[in-house]
Amino acid sequence: MSVKASRRVPVALIAAGVLFVLTMIWMARQGGRPRVDPPSILLQVQQLNQLTTVRYTIQKVIGITEQKQPVGSEAILLIVQARVEAGVDLAGLRQEDVTVRGDGTVVVRLPAARVFNVTVDEAETKVWDRTKTWWTPWVPYGLDLEQRARRAGVEAIEKAALEMGILGQAERNAETSIRGLLGLAGIKDVLVVPGGRS
């Protein structure tokens, strides 16, 4: 290391130290609180867009029987596994959804949580059994029976996720995420109001 390079390091450290001290003095004069600007907070929160806060993986067994014409039947037993993603769509926040109280507390009113996606896991979804009546071998297998079973599986999985409380979990996780985001911006007093409450 040359003498010239070693002199630059202390000068840079001293400059950084002076900048830090000046920042601390400025913050002390400001009361240690960052300036709270609702439009800029709104912009920060909106940039999260569709905030997916929870994912459930659920497996269901779906059985469908179809009567054939003129006689006989076909049945399918399908194991469907899917991932359900839920969260809050923050892109639709309006200016009145972010306010600042007189005491400096930032109030963010979130939209209601909702299910964003139900995605079938193709590797784990499979036909467990498929049969038709043995005495009607000439009746062809139904081409859409498996697709109907898959659709029924997706509906059953979404319903199960809702019954398990995925939306409540999504709201709680969104509150935590918003508090964390605003905390990183230096805003400590945050009240997050979940969708539908006032």
pLDDT tens per residue across span 151-168: 999 999 999 999 999 999
Cβ atoms of 58 and 79 closer than 8 Å = no
- How many other C-beta atoms lie within 10 A of the C-beta of residue 152? 16
Cα(127)–Cα(122) distance, rounded to whole angstroms? 11
The predicted-structure confidence for 183-197, as pLDDT tens digits, reads as follows 877 778 888 888 755
Q: Which of 27-41, 72-86, 90-104, 121-135 has the lowest mean pLDDT?
A: 27-41
Model pLDDT, residue 85: 94
Question: Does residue 61 register a pLDDT over 80?
Answer: yes
CB neighbour list of residue 178: distance below 8 Å, 6 or more residues apart: 45, 108, 110, 190, 192
pLDDT-derived band at 39 (thresholds 50, 70, 90) equals low
Cα(58)–Cα(193) distance, rounded to whole angstroms? 29
- Mean pLDDT of all residues in 111-137: 87
- Mean pLDDT of all residues in 108-116: 91
What is the average pLDDT score of the chain?
Answer: 78
pLDDT-derived band at 1 (thresholds 50, 70, 90) equals very low
Residue among 79, 93, 110 at smallest CA distance from 179: 110
